[in-house]
Amino acid sequence: MTTIQPSTPYQWGLQRNITPRFGARLIQQGNRLDFLWDRSGFVGSFSPQLGQQLNDAFPEIIKQLEDQAALGYLDPRQQRCITLQHAGFICEADTLGSHGYLYITIYPIT
């Protein structure tokens, strides 16, 4: 008899041992970042209040990441992790040298 184990859902973004966190894989086209909701997800649970705070902060975090790309800190051909802070959250981002993707993880500052 074979036992089937439930599959673990795919975790998008940079893998960190921090919960709760939000992860995503964005498409990087030059200095512009495109967010695809189906390439993102949560690990752990955000309270409704914390979830709303992240929702409010997310556009500014993306703008800051695009600014870093414009300055050359997020080169799609080179792996380099950068860290930003905004509105009580830490965002880590890295292209992982992927030639077109940016992987992020966002978690609350504790």
Task: Please report the DSSP string for 85-101 in residue order.
Answer: EETTEEEEEE-TT-SSE
Q: How many domains does the chain have?
A: 1
pTM above 0.85, yes or no: yes
Per-residue pLDDT of the chain (110 residues; tens, 9 = 90+): 444 444 446 788 999 999 999 999 999 998 999 999 999 999 999 999 999 999 999 999 999 999 999 999 998 888 999 999 999 999 999 999 988 999 999 999 98
Closest CA to 104 of 21, 9, 10: 21
Range(s) of the domain holding residue 101? 21-108
Angle at CA 44, nearest 5°, toward 41 and 50? 85
Q: Tokens 């992987």 label which residue?
A: 103
Is 4 inside any structural domain?
no
Is 9 inside any structural domain?
no
Is 12 inside any structural domain?
no
Is 57 inside any structural domain?
yes
CATH number of the domain enclosing 98: 3.30.450.20
Is 7 inside any structural domain?
no
